[in-house]
Chain A
Amino acid sequence: MSVGDAVISVKDMTMAYGRRVIQRDLTFEVQRGDIFVIMGGSGCGKSSLLKHLLGLLSPASGDIYYGEQSFTRASTLERDRLRQRWGITYQSGGLISAMTLAQNVALPLEQYSDFDARTIRDIVALKLALVGLDGYQTYMPSEISGGMRKRAALARAIALDPDILFFDEPSAGLDPISSRRLDDLILQIKESTGATVVMVTHELPSIFAIANNSIYLDAGTQRLIDRGNPAWLREHSENAVVRQFLNRAGDAHE
C-alpha cells in the first residue's frame, strides 16, 4: 500500500455524540479509484462516519487526512476548496426543498464554475438524464417519489464531475432495476472520470458488483472489525458477524 496514493486516511479517529462514543480508534485508508464501502448493522455509525469525513462533525480524537492535508485542522477556506471536488448524497436526500430539481442540480455549478446559463442548463439536463429524470426539471422535491429524490440527489452530486463521491445509502428504497442502473452509473462515472467512491450501503448485490474495498463497523464493540474486498471477506473473514452480514445469514435461519 503506497502511502502517496491514499486519497483519504483516517487515523485513530474516535467518534462521539457528547459523551456517547459511537466508534473508537478507526484507522483506514481509501485509495485513489477505490469503490469503498462502509458496512455495518443499523445504528453502528456509518452515517456518522460519513459526516466526519465530510467535516460536518468533528472527531472526538484522531485525525482525517485528504492526501497529505489534515482535514480536521484545516480552515473553512481550505475545507471549501477540498469540497469543490466532492459530490455528496445524504441518507435523506438533502435536496433543497425550496428549489426545483433543475435549481438543485445547478447549485454546485453556479457555486463553483463560471459556466454561462446555457451551459448550466445543458449540464443539468444531461445529469438528470443520466439518472433517468430528464424532463423533471421544474418539479419540486416534494412532488416526486422518495426513490426519485435519491436519484435527483445523485444528479446533483455528479454535476461537477467530482474527484470523490460520497453516497449514504444511494440505492435504499429503489426498485431492483433502478438499483442496478445506479450501480452501472456509479461504475461508469468511476471509469470515465477516475473518481473515488465512498459509500454506505446494505445492498449486497451492489456491494459485490462494484466495491473493491470495504470496512465493517461493529456496533457492539464500537470498533472496525474487518476490512478488505467484500467478495473475499464473504468467504474468508475471520469474523462470523462479517461473514453472516455478507451471506445475508443470521443464526436464526440456520
Chain B
Amino acid sequence: MTADTPQAVLQAPQQSLVLSGDWRAATVPDLARAIAPYPSSQPLTVDLNGVSAWDSRLTAQLLGLERRIAPATLDLIGAEDDQRKLLELARSVPLHVPPQQTRRAVLNLDGLRASLAQLGDGLLDSLAFLGAVLTASAKSLAGRGGMRQRELMSACYLAGPNALGIITLTSVLVGMILAYLGAAQLQQFGAAIYVADLVAVGMLREMGALMTAVVMAGRTGAAYAAQLSTMQGNEEIDAIRTLGINPMEFLVVPRVLALVAMMPLLVIFADALGIFGGAIVAGGMGVTPLQYMSQLNSAVSTDHFVIGLIKAFVFAVLIATAGCRAGMNAGRNSAAVGRATTDAVVTSVIYLIVADAAINILCQQLGY
C-alpha cells in the first residue's frame, strides 16, 4: 500500500475520523461505513490534514456524513479553504424535507384494493369527462360554443386523409389473414369459394372497425394526449381559460367531432380494402374475381355493414375522449406527456375491447 492510497481510520476514543492519501483515486473509502460501528447523532471530528488531493466525492461524503449525524455537529480539522467553502455553500440552504406522502400500500390486499379503487375512479372520471364532452359538443353543434371551424377542419384532416396510408396497409393484410385462416379449413371440403363470405362478414362486422380503431388509438388518440398535455405544460390551456374560452369547446370538441366524423369513413375504406385483400388470397386458391364478387353479393347483408358502422362510431367516441382526457388531466412537465400518451393508448385499447364484446353480445341477443 503506497502512502497515497486514500484511507479513513476511525479513532474511537476521540470520536474522530482521520483521512489521508489521494482522494481522487478511482475508489475511495465509504465514510458512512467507516463510522458505522459508532452510535449516530454523536458529534464527530474529521481530520483532513493527511489528505493530499480531493474532488467533489469527498465533499459529497462529508455533506452526507453531516446530514446523517445531525443534529450533532461535524468538525473539520485541517480542511483547505476551498473544501470548507464548498461545504458551506452546500449547507447554506437547509435540506428540504418533503411532506409525508401517503404511503403506498405494502400489503397485497391493500394494493389490490387501491388499484381497484383507482380503476373505479378512472371509470367515473371517464364518464364525467364524456358527459362534459357531450354537452360541449351539443353546444358547439348548435353554433353557440367556442369551437372554431379552422380547428375542426385541421383536426379532420389529421384524423382522416392523413391516416389513409397506414389503414390501407393494415386492412389489406387483415383481409388476407382472414382469408388464409379460412382457406386451410374450407379447402378440405372443396368449399374454397366460401372464403368470400368469411372475409366479407369478418371485415364488415368485426375486423374493419376494430383494426381501424386500434390503429387510430395508437395514432390519433396518442397524438391528442400528447398535444393537449404539451399545451398544459406550456400554460396554453391556462391562457385559453383566462381568455374566457372553454378549453373543452375550443380544444376537445373539435378533436372528438373530427374523429367521430372520420372513423366511419375510414372503416368503410378499410372494409373495401380488406375484402380486396381476401380476393387476392382467394385468387391463389383458384377462385376467380368474378366468382368472388358474386359470392360476396349473396353473403353481404346491410346488417353486417351497419353493425360495423355503429362500432366505428362508438370506438371513435371512446378513443377521442380517452386521448383528450389523458391530455387535459396531465401534469405540467415533459414526463407527464409520456405518461399521458401511454395512458391514452392503454385506456382506449381496454375500452375498445370491452365495448366490442358488449356490442357483439348485444347483437347476438337481439338476433342481428
Contact = CB atoms under 8 A, between A and B. Distances in A.
Given A51-B238, A93-B235, 16 more contacts: A54-B238, A56-B238, A56-B241, A83-B243, A83-B244, A90-B239, A94-B235, A96-B239, A96-B240, A97-B230, A97-B236, A98-B154, A107-B243, A108-B243, A111-B243, A252-B89
Contact of A92 (B98, B235, B240): B235
Interface in A93-107: 93-98, 107
A141 to B, nearest CB: 9
B239 A83 contact: no
Interface residues of B, number: 22
10 contacts: A20-B99, A55-B242, A86-B242, A92-B233, A94-B239, A98-B151, A98-B154, A107-B243, A111-B245, A251-B92
B238 A90 contact: yes
A56 B94 CA distance: 31
Most buried by B among A55, A92, A94, A220: A94
A242 interface: no
A118 interface: no
A88 B236 CA distance: 12
A80 interface: yes
A104 to B, nearest CB: 9
Interface of B: 89, 92, 94, 98-99, 146, 151, 154, 230-231, 233-236, 238-245
A91 interface: yes
A98 B243 CA distance: 16
Contacts of B239: 88, 90, 94-96
Sorted from nearest, which 9 A-B pairs have the closest CB atoms? A94-B239, A90-B235, A80-B244, A94-B235, A92-B235, A56-B238, A88-B242, A20-B99, A83-B244
Contacts of A51: 238
Interface in A78-131: 80, 83-84, 86, 88, 90-98, 107-108, 111-112
Contacts of A96: 231, 236, 239-240
Interface residues of A, number: 27
A21 B89 CA distance: 27
Interface of A: 19-20, 51, 54-56, 80, 83-84, 86, 88, 90-98, 107-108, 111-112, 220, 251-252
Contacts of A107: 243, 245
Contacts of B238: 51, 54, 56, 90, 94
Contact of B231 (A54, A91, A97, A111): A97
B75 to A, nearest CB: 21
B245 A95 contact: no
B149 to A, nearest CB: 12
Contact of B244 (A56, A91, A112, A252): A112
Contact of B234 (A83, A97, A111): A97
B234 A56 contact: no
Nearest to A108: B243
A19 B102 CA distance: 10
Contacts of A84: 244
A56 B242 contact: yes
A84 B243 CA distance: 7
Contacts of A93: 234-235
B259 to A, nearest CB: 17
A90 B98 CA distance: 27
A130 to B, nearest CB: 19
A108 B245 CA distance: 9
